[in-house]
Amino acid sequence: YYSSGTEPTSPKNGAIWWDSTNSKVMVYIAAEFKEVELGASTGGWTIPDISAATYDSVSFDTTSQGTNMNSVFFSSDGTKMYTACHTQDSVFQYSLTSAFDLSTASYDSVFLSIASQDSYPKGLFFSSDGTKMYMSGDANDKVYQYSLSTAWDLSTASYDSVNYSPHTNVGGVDFNTDGTKMYTSNLASPASINQHTLSTAWDLSTASNDSVSLNTSSQESQPWGFAFNPDGTQMFVTGYSSDDVHQYTLSTGFDLSTASYSNYSFYVNSQEDKPTSVRFSLDGSKMFILGFSLEDVFQYSTGL
């Protein structure tokens, strides 16, 4: 998956490219990019009711790398997974031989120490092309930016000496598809998801606060992890005060001022009683939960 205004070089057959200049979804077929006709839709997936999700009875244990795992993230093609660990102050890399299938996951023996930036990593996010990584930390209440010289290869990552202070009690971090909007969670009162703008895509040095937020305290008073669907019309929030994944609707994609609670939620306590991160597969058919009670990543089917 690529997101830029310039045509990617040397893509693989079936690669997806969001042409941000022309607002088109392109797929690489027969040695060329071809436009996907979206009709009135902006593409992506929509989960009608997250409460209909089911546990796949599949999980992956990360305790060999460390305890207090706070965040999980997947590469766009689902063949790489990453976790952020508090006790080791590191980000770890894993491989999945079958995309988004945790039963095929294994540790790559690759990690990145982030101790020089923050001793309490809370959130983790990668740009859609895998060349930028963002880590949110609670010790210094900042989001930090890293570059990967080889996409999705953590062994090539280095700190950009760029960070952004969104607010106090920083939890998770997420971005919109093209990297011009960033979202952070506030773990204390008021419990909320907060919106920021980047005037240059994926460049934290250009970030500013939109003074727009969504209060989640009626559903979740500690919103550690959250994720959007591809067009930003749905957001899913988890945290260990409720042990639920809560579903929200945004009438304008990625605009939190238009967000409202959908009254749908999915209880994950049977697997993890301190959920801190939620992520989805590229097509939305799989959901993944990580928490620091069991240090496992758990896999679910959403029904899509």
For 80-114, the pLDDT digits (tens) are 999 999 889 999 999 999 999 999 999 999 999 99
Strands 192-198 and 225-228: unpaired
What single letter denotes the amino acid at residue 227? A
Beta bridge partner(s), residue 282: none
Reference 256, options 248, 244, 264; nearest CA is 248
In angstroms, rounded to a whole number, what is the distance separating the alpha carbons of residues 38 and 25? 8
Average pLDDT over residues 35-54: 75
Q: What is the per-residue pLDDT across 129-138, written as a single tens digit (0 to 9) for each?
A: 999 999 999 8
**pLDDT confidence of 189, banded at 50, 70, 90?**
confident
Instruction: Express each pLDDT in 196-225 by its tens digit.
Output: 999 999 999 999 999 999 999 999 999 999
Residue 41 has pLDDT above 50, yes or no: no
Task: Please give the Cα distance from 57 to 63 (Å, whole number).
Answer: 18
Taking residues 20-37, report their average pLDDT.
74
Q: Could you report the per-residue pLDDT of 121-130, keeping only the tens digit for each?
A: 999 999 999 9
Q: What predicted TM-score, i.e. pTM, was given to this entire model?
A: 0.86
Residue whose tokens read 């909320």: 192
Measured CA angle at 24 (ends 19, 26), to 5 deg: 75
Secondary structure class of 134 (helix, strand, coil): strand
Mean pLDDT of 272-284: 95
| Predicted pLDDT at 292 | 86
Q: What is the pLDDT of residues 285-298, one digit of tens each?
A: 999 999 988 989 99
